[in-house]
Amino acid sequence: MTSSALGVLSRIRADRPVRPPGERCEMCAEPLAPEHGHVVDVRARSLLCTCRPCTLLFTRDDADLAYRSVPDRYLSFADLALPVWEELELPVGTAFLFRNSTLGRVVAFYPGPAGATESELSLDAWERVVAAAPELATLRADVEALLVRAESGAIEAYLVPIDVCYELVGHLRQLWRGFDGGQDVRRRLEEFFTAVRGRSKPAGAS
């Protein structure tokens, strides 16, 4: 490389703004606090880390937006019976379901060694779930999910922000060992659902 070319590169580097370390908003590049919001890119089906001003731009449920802010609502459903869950015919005990506005239907995902795996879900099965838990009719498309865990003949069901579901999937993928995930996955699931229980209020409560 010639000395003139090196000089040009040096000037380019010198002109670049130096960004401080740390996570930044994926919309405006402002620094982010450790606890920050998320926005769903509806068409790409991906999450963006966002600062509060950017998060507040996409909170309207009635608007046709390419992005939607993830709310912070946690509800528990004590009356969702195991037979209702079994009608969904999902192959595992833990899964999350949400309304995908781009596809125009409810989709189901469950965690595994490869991340989140999609499972077919019939409209009739979902309507029976909503009939058993009417508060699910308020589930916000793309940004909230029904998180369900069926174990030892019992069922836990919660309405949660969609980002915590993907966070769980990412953690389990890193921990997964063998066919069923192993002891570390079971421990992480216990910790996760304990935290969700603590944050949830009963559906329908004022």
State pLDDT tens for residues 59-74.
887 777 889 999 999 9
CA distance 158 to 7: 60
Nearest CA to 134 out of 75, 59, 198, 82 is that of 75
Lowest pLDDT segment from 84-93, 109-118, 122-131, 194-203 = 84-93
The predicted pLDDT at position 154 comes to 78
11 has pLDDT over 70: no
Residue spans of the domains in the chain: they are: 7-69, 75-202
Average pLDDT over residues 185-200: 92
In the numeric block, which tokens belong to residue 58? 């996409």
Q: What is the mean pLDDT of the chain?
A: 83
The predicted pLDDT at position 21 comes to 55
Higher pLDDT, 80 or 3: 80
Contacts of 192 (CB under 8 A, 6+ apart): 168, 171
Average pLDDT over residues 127-154: 87
10 has pLDDT over 50: no
131 has pLDDT over 90: no
Share above pLDDT 70 across residues of the chain, in percent, rounded to a whole number: 87
The predicted pLDDT at position 6 comes to 43
Q: State the pTM of this model.
A: 0.82
Q: Which residue has the tokens 């029904």?
A: 146
State pLDDT tens for residues 83-96.
777 777 776 788 89
Q: How far is CA 75 from CA 3, 84, 134, 141, 167, in A?
A: 65, 18, 12, 16, 18
The predicted pLDDT at position 159 comes to 95
Lowest pLDDT segment from 8-22, 54-68, 119-133, 146-160 = 8-22
